[in-house]
A = this chain, B = another copy of it.
Amino acid sequence: MEMEKASVICKLFGDKTRLTIMKILDSQDCCVCELVEIFQVSQPSISQHLRKLRDIGLVKEERRGQWIFYAMNKQHEAYAFVQTILVNLPDQDDKLKELEEKGIRITCC
């Protein structure tokens, strides 16, 4: 892991929303509307965060019908580095579980 690349990744992880998105995607794929619901922030804001993560290839997108799902890119050269960071972070599964309970997960995706 080069200094330059490591600092770029850390900078991306320096935003709490993005860091949390990464932790969520680490355990399961997720579509944009779910993230919007979770973070209670505008849809463009989430799209912009995802774009930054995608621009350096940390996540990949995949259209599934009407929705676009984002997923961790396990082929990324820095994937191992990313993991060493993410494993230290608290599980975020409750966030998606909440959506399910509210029925939003079903409706939306």
Contacts and interface: CB of A to CB of B under 8 A. Distances in A.
Interface stretch (A7-15, A47-55, A97-105): A7-15
Interface residues of A, number: 24
Contacts of A8: 14
Contacts of A16: 3-4, 7
A38 interface: no
B7 A15 contact: yes
Contacts of A89: 1, 3, 6
B88 A84 contact: yes
A13 B7 contact: yes
B1 A88 contact: yes
Interface string A11-23: 1111110011001
